[in-house]
Amino acid sequence: MTSQRLGVAVMVVLLVLMLVSAYWLWGRLRDLEPATPFVPTPVETATPTMTPIPTTLRAPPGYRLAGVAVGEPQSFAVVESSSGSSALYRVGENVPGLGRLLSIGADRVIVENEAGQFDLRLAPAPTATPGRTLATATIPPAARKSESSKGRRPAVPAAGTTPESTP
């Protein structure tokens, strides 16, 4: 029985120890200040402003970019006017009838005049390049009848021979 009493006494001591520990822990948790809730600090945001969007203008009719030469120190552009004459221009120069040349790219130039900016792109010449035409041979009707009446075709010279040397 003493061992039974000793077991009960140890359990009571452990129970008291647990209760004291729980009370002490409860007090510590209660004394802690509650965490301040997260309140975002107002941040000043930029107010949107209206910035004008440059309008894209069209190049005046009759002008075309005939060619460009893009180089390291300087670039050049060949602009053809509506009269058909062409001239070489550099950045910053005035193109008569168009405006001031702002930049030169590989396939376009940007020009600015009092109305705004526009780009002029490489374009082929308006006139078509004459192509090769096939000439048709006409055989007079009399020659056609005489060949068909013979019943044979004209002889074709062999390779390496001339028409005079054919048998």
Are the C-beta atoms of residues 89 and 79 closer than 8 Å to each other? yes
Residue 69's φ and ψ, nearest 5 degrees, are -135, 105
Does the pLDDT value for residue 23 go beyond 60? yes
Q: Give the pair of three-digit tokens for residue 117.
A: 């900016």
> Which pLDDT tens digit goes with each residue over 125-154?
766 556 665 555 566 666 555 555 555 555
Q: Which domains does the chain have, with CATH numbers?
A: 64-121 (2.30.30)
Q: How far apart are CA 87 and CA 95, in angstroms?
A: 9
How many other C-beta atoms can be found within 10 angstroms of the C-beta atom of residue 31? Answer: 7
Specify the pLDDT at position 10. Answer: 92
Are the C-beta atoms of residues 59 and 98 closer than 8 Å to each other? yes
Specify the pLDDT at position 5. Answer: 87
Q: How far apart are CA 56 and CA 90, in angstroms?
A: 22
How many other C-beta atoms can be found within 10 angstroms of the C-beta atom of residue 99? Answer: 20
Q: How far apart are CA 78 and CA 70, in angstroms?
A: 11
Global confidence as pTM = 0.44
Q: Residue 100 forms beta bridges with which residues?
A: 94, 112
